[in-house]
A = this chain, B = another copy of it.
Amino acid sequence: MDDLDRQILDILRRDARTPYTEIASQIGTSEGTVRNRVERLTEEGVIERFTVSTRTGNIKAMIEVSVKVDVDTTEITDQMTEWEQVDFVWQVSGEEDVVLVVDAADTRAVNQLITRARELDEVKNTKTRLILDEQLGRSP
């Protein structure tokens, strides 16, 4: 991972559809180099996936979930990935064990997700935060 890699990632994070030729001219190298490096970064797992970030609804939120001590958290998270309007399911350290990042149509939909989580026997408690604003960082 050198500086050229970081510049490529920076451009792709902002627009993953930027043509290789365009990236190449921005960072002063050839199309082939960019292509080879993107391929390498993908193989190495530095690039996890090419994706789209969406906003299907009006509300983004984090639902923090505490599960009971004797429960295999992965069992819960596997279920939650199947729920609609859930973008990410994170297992985290700290007070709570699972964080759902959701993109919901409205507050009612968020509430339904919270209810659904609370209805699981394994879930002790939930805490919800609305994401009021999201800014993209510089990452690499």
Give the B-binding residues of A (Cβ under 8 A).
1, 9, 12-17, 45-56, 62, 74, 77-78, 80-94, 96, 99-103, 127-140
**Chain B residues closer than 8 Å to A85, beta-carbon distance:** 137, 139-140
Copies in the complex: 2
- B130 and A77 form a contact (CB under 8 A): no
- A130 and B93 form a contact (CB under 8 A): yes
Return the contact of A46 from the options B54, B62, B132, B137 (Cβ within 8 A).
Answer: B54
Return the contact of A94 from the options B45, B50, B80, B129 (Cβ within 8 A).
Answer: B129
16 new A-B contacts at CB < 8 Å, known A9-B56, A45-B55, A84-B139: A16-B17, A46-B56, A47-B52, A56-B140, A62-B90, A62-B99, A77-B133, A81-B136, A83-B137, A84-B138, A85-B137, A85-B139, A87-B137, A90-B135, A92-B131, A94-B127
